[in-house]
Copies of this chain bind each other. A is one copy, B any other.
Amino acid sequence: MQQRSYCGYSGRGGANSCSIYRGYLVRRTVHKCQNKEDISPVPVKVRLQDVLAEMSADDIERNLRNLTLKPHHASSSRNTELAHFIKDQWKGYGFEVKLIRYNVLLSFPEKGKINGASLQDGSGKVQYQTAKDEKVLEPSEESSDALPPFSAFSPTGKEKGDLIYVNYGRHDDFKLLLSKNVNCSGRIVIVRYGHVFRGDKVTNAQKFGAKAILIYNDPQDFAPVPDEDLYPHGWWLPRTGVQRGSILMGTGDPLTPRYPSKDGVLRKSSSEIKMPYIPAHPISAKDAEQFLRLLGGEKAPDDWQGGLDITYHLGPGFTGNYTDWKVEVETNNNHTRRDISNVIATLKGSVEPDRLVLLGNHRDAWVFGGIDPSSGTACLMEIAKALGTKYIQGWRPRRSIVLCSWGGEEYGLLGSTEWVEDNIHLLYQRAVAYLNVDSPIRGNYSLYVRASPLLHKVLFSASKQVKNPLDIDQSVYENWLDKFPASNGRTPKIPPLGSGSDYSPFCQRAGVPSADIRYVFDMRQFHNITSYPTYHSIHDTFAYVKKFVDPHFTTHLAIAQVWGSTAFLLAETPLLPINCSDYATALNKGVLDIERKYGSALAKNGISLEYLNKAVKEFEEGAESMQTLIEIPWSLSFINDRLTGLEKNFLNPEGLPGRPLYWHSIFAPSLHNSYASATFPGLHDALVDAVNNGAQNSTWVLVKEELSNTIVAIEWAAQFLNSNV
């Protein structure tokens, strides 16, 4: 529906020429632009369905098998090898490809030293020691290159003491404990994975005074089924499985906040950077049970009871004959600077080569990366193949399409963040959209997308073009609408982005409308768990995907097609398929939420939302006037520049309170859970604190400040839409 006819830009100049490429006769679609008659666009037309028809589930399967042959964590030789492999492939399809290195701080367990926890009796004798490695359950998991379970960026340390169970380690969990007079100060805490980012758990533990933290995969969250359904018999995490992961807060190389980690750029000294300072370590359910079953103290609340066959107690310390037993946590990790690599490939646009539609997925995996991330890379390679095939046949996209294979995502979005920091103004000025996937094939239940409101329209269009893998009489869109309807019931629901993957620097620093696309299992059936069971474990392999997740790779194909279609429509449609009113809807919803939750508290403190409402109203009018502009034929670039420039207006480089590199005023990760998202994050967080702290004047001053900043950001955007100046 965006395919109306417009006078385009002038075509690209240069001489027509032909060359032989891999047996194809390639017409170079460059045109001499001598006069106004000669502005015909590129001659070889391609329909979206032609591109989609080039994609094959079998090829994606082959891609995934190859990508997951060996462990390939950040900076490993295998991950670099894959970077070169991908680079060569994409070059072959006609992309201009760069391999770009950044030298960043990583963290590894020290070889030959302990990373774990022990149970020690009164005499200090070790009675139980957690496993050093995860148990190998299939031959394909055998590898000397696998990183054992550890918490990346945990300091080296050894702490011994009484244990306390703190459920998911959320801020409210710690607060509930305090209300029961269970004080974590000077104790070791054990928490289960889930609900919030593991770095938040460690941060909370530090804040409440704990001296070490263990994090484990509780069966309720990762295997809520009988033992016979556990991997390798089913897709649920075995009792010996462990989730690795970084516990560093913030994104990007901690040595170069704000700047790219390349030669010539100064690194912070270790005293200047904020790193976790208590030993942290992840353990299996099997190991956790050895500690938890001995815990004394009050019985944990009902909703803190997990899936182990024990009654969970809070502690501190052990019960019965074990009161003088202690837990010791020992970590030995090295933080060390290493090179990571991004592969950046551009299929140059013929009409608007400086407008970029970016697709990205990380390449580094904690171990084999069956789902995380290689299911995405397998799809990205298939998109490259399909586009490349058409390119070789002479087609050129209108705008440039850029494929990104990120290194170092697992350590804190390093590859993407450093690259965004390296190209911050370029992306602000030229990027149309960034489309991310990360572990996109988690099930076959439904498509699930988080995105900027500006991308809702094109995501709906794209998903209508693709068949639902489980029911080919239905489109992906129809299934999605069925499974995740918005509250109005008319479209699928698209929540805003949180953090947790490579879209974050694009949103938060460059203001690029972004999306995160995935297929999910029915999480609501299972305690609302959000990770798939083998996430960050040694069992996330090709075999696992093939056997339990997507045997025929049809869901992979659907993701490749939805992802590719979205990019194709954004790159090809002369008038960008972006609807500003979708942002107005989101802003209105944000204001309503604030009014509903905090209206009376605000009124009590004499704070009016008058100007916030006024700003949203002005934005709404601007969005409507865009519709009018679009309806009268105008210069395309004039309208498209407004559409691509709009989201950038929400950036406030002062940043959010305490988070100077979160610049997006409308959507940002929630302060207490880095995975989730808040609307008007500054205002929202200030209100949470103000309401919690009651009448303290200073906190209400912060509310006023953040309200003011929110108003200004919305008005920046409103004025941008409404007029020239």
Interface positions of A from 678 to 725, Cβ below 8 Å from B = 704-705, 707-709, 711-712, 715-717, 719-720, 724-725
- A348 adjacent to B724 (CB under 8 Å): yes
A159 contacts chain B at the CB level, 8 A cutoff: no
Q: Which of B260, B265, B422, B635 contacts A351 (CB 8 A)?
A: B635
Q: Which of B10, B654, B707 contacts A258 (CB 8 A)?
A: B654
Contacts of A426 in B (CB 8 A): 649, 716, 719-720, 725
Contacts of A612 in B (CB 8 A): 264
Interface positions of A from 262 to 280, Cβ below 8 Å from B = 263-266
- A12 and B707 alpha carbons, distance in the complex (Å): 39
Contacts of A351 in B (CB 8 A): 635
Interface positions of A from 624 to 641, Cβ below 8 Å from B = 632-638, 641
Quick check: which of A29-37, A187-195, A235-243 contacts chain B, the rest being far away?
Answer: A29-37
Instruction: Give the residue name and chain of the B residue nearest to A419 (CB).
Output: B725
A648 contacts chain B at the CB level, 8 A cutoff: yes
Interface positions of A from 1 to 39, Cβ below 8 Å from B = 6-14, 32-39
Query: In whole Å, how far is A375's beta carbon from the nearest beta carbon of chain B?
Result: 25
Instruction: Give the residue name and chain of the B residue nearest to A257 (CB).
Output: B654
Query: In whole Å, how far is A678's beta carbon from the nearest beta carbon of chain B?
Result: 20
Contacts of A716 in B (CB 8 A): 422-426
- A7 adjacent to B7 (CB under 8 Å): no
- A637 adjacent to B637 (CB under 8 Å): yes
Query: In whole Å, how far is A355's beta carbon from the nearest beta carbon of chain B?
Result: 9
- B259 adjacent to A708 (CB under 8 Å): yes
Contacts of A614 in B (CB 8 A): 264
Instruction: Give the residue name and chain of the B residue nearest to A653 (CB).
Output: B653
- A725 adjacent to B424 (CB under 8 Å): no
Contacts of A610 in B (CB 8 A): 264
A651 contacts chain B at the CB level, 8 A cutoff: yes
A353 contacts chain B at the CB level, 8 A cutoff: yes
- B12 adjacent to A634 (CB under 8 Å): yes
Known contacts A37-B37, A426-B719, A724 near B354 by CB under 8 Å: yes
A547 contacts chain B at the CB level, 8 A cutoff: no
Q: Which of B11, B711, B720, B724 contacts A353 (CB 8 A)?
A: B724
Instruction: Give the residue name and chain of the B residue nearest to A13 (CB).
Output: B633
- A724 adjacent to B346 (CB under 8 Å): yes
- A636 adjacent to B425 (CB under 8 Å): no
Q: Which of B344, B352, B642, B712 contacts A635 (CB 8 A)?
A: B352
A615 contacts chain B at the CB level, 8 A cutoff: yes
Known contacts A36-B39, A635-B9, A638-B354, A720 near B425 by CB under 8 Å: yes
A429 contacts chain B at the CB level, 8 A cutoff: yes
| Residues of chain A at interface, number, CB under 8 A | 78
Considering residues A6, A8, A354, A611, which has the most beta carbons from chain B within 10 angstroms of its beta carbon?
A354
Instruction: Give the residue name and chain of the B residue nearest to A712 (CB).
Output: B259
Contacts of A483 in B (CB 8 A): none
- B12 adjacent to A423 (CB under 8 Å): no
Interface positions of A from 332 to 347, Cβ below 8 Å from B = 344, 346
A645 contacts chain B at the CB level, 8 A cutoff: yes
Query: In whole Å, how far is A434's beta carbon from the nearest beta carbon of chain B?
Result: 12
A552 contacts chain B at the CB level, 8 A cutoff: no
Query: In whole Å, how far is A653's beta carbon from the nearest beta carbon of chain B?
Result: 3
- A265 adjacent to B724 (CB under 8 Å): no
A546 contacts chain B at the CB level, 8 A cutoff: no
Instruction: Give the residue name and chain of the B residue nearest to A654 (CB).
Output: B258
A402 contacts chain B at the CB level, 8 A cutoff: yes
Contacts of A439 in B (CB 8 A): none
Query: In whole Å, how far is A519's beta carbon from the nearest beta carbon of chain B?
Result: 28
- A258 and B713 alpha carbons, distance in the complex (Å): 12
- A35 and B353 alpha carbons, distance in the complex (Å): 22
A400 contacts chain B at the CB level, 8 A cutoff: yes
Contacts of A648 in B (CB 8 A): 425, 429
- B653 adjacent to A725 (CB under 8 Å): no
- B264 adjacent to A615 (CB under 8 Å): yes
Instruction: Give the residue name and chain of the B residue nearest to A642 (CB).
Output: B354
Contacts of A344 in B (CB 8 A): 725
Contacts of A265 in B (CB 8 A): 708, 711-712
Contacts of A51 in B (CB 8 A): none
- A636 adjacent to B10 (CB under 8 Å): yes
A430 contacts chain B at the CB level, 8 A cutoff: yes
- A633 adjacent to B402 (CB under 8 Å): no
A560 contacts chain B at the CB level, 8 A cutoff: no
- A35 and B651 alpha carbons, distance in the complex (Å): 38
Q: Which of B10, B12, B354, B705 contacts A6 (CB 8 A)?
A: B10
Q: Which of B9, B632, B649, B720 contacts A9 (CB 8 A)?
A: B9
- A39 and B11 alpha carbons, distance in the complex (Å): 14
- A725 adjacent to B7 (CB under 8 Å): no
Contacts of A707 in B (CB 8 A): 266
Question: Interface 1/0s, chain A 80-111, versus B by CB < 8 A?
Answer: 00000000000000000010000000000000
Interface positions of A from 397 to 415, Cβ below 8 Å from B = 400, 402
A365 contacts chain B at the CB level, 8 A cutoff: no
Question: Interface 1/0s, chain A 348-363, versus B by CB < 8 A?
Answer: 1001111010000000
Contacts of A352 in B (CB 8 A): 635, 637-638
- A428 and B709 alpha carbons, distance in the complex (Å): 19
Instruction: Give the residue name and chain of the B residue nearest to A648 (CB).
Output: B425
Q: Which of B10, B346, B430 contacts A7 (CB 8 A)?
A: B10
- B637 adjacent to A9 (CB under 8 Å): yes
Contacts of A348 in B (CB 8 A): 724
- A610 and B263 alpha carbons, distance in the complex (Å): 10
- A717 and B425 alpha carbons, distance in the complex (Å): 8
Known contacts A426-B719, A641-B429, A719-B426, A14 near B708 by CB under 8 Å: no
- A708 and B37 alpha carbons, distance in the complex (Å): 50
- B7 adjacent to A35 (CB under 8 Å): yes
Question: Interface 1/0s, chain A 646-677, versus B by CB < 8 A?
Answer: 00110101100000000000000000000000
Known contacts A265-B708, A653-B653, A716-B424, A724 near B633 by CB under 8 Å: no
Query: In whole Å, how far is A689's beta carbon from the nearest beta carbon of chain B?
Result: 17
Considering residues A37, A635, A637, which has the most beta carbons from chain B within 10 angstroms of its beta carbon?
A635
Query: In whole Å, how far is A719's beta carbon from the nearest beta carbon of chain B?
Result: 6
Query: In whole Å, how far is A644's beta carbon from the nearest beta carbon of chain B?
Result: 9
Question: Interface 1/0s, chain A 427-459, versus B by CB < 8 A?
Answer: 011100000000000000000000000000000
A-B contact pairs, 20 of them (CB 8 A): A6-B10, A6-B33, A7-B11, A7-B38, A13-B632, A13-B633, A32-B633, A33-B635, A36-B39, A39-B39, A264-B615, A266-B708, A352-B638, A354-B642, A356-B724, A422-B716, A423-B725, A428-B428, A429-B641, A430-B724
Can you add 9 more A-B contacts, CB < 8 Å, to A12-B634, A33-B633? A10-B633, A14-B632, A36-B40, A353-B638, A400-B725, A402-B725, A422-B715, A425-B648, A426-B720
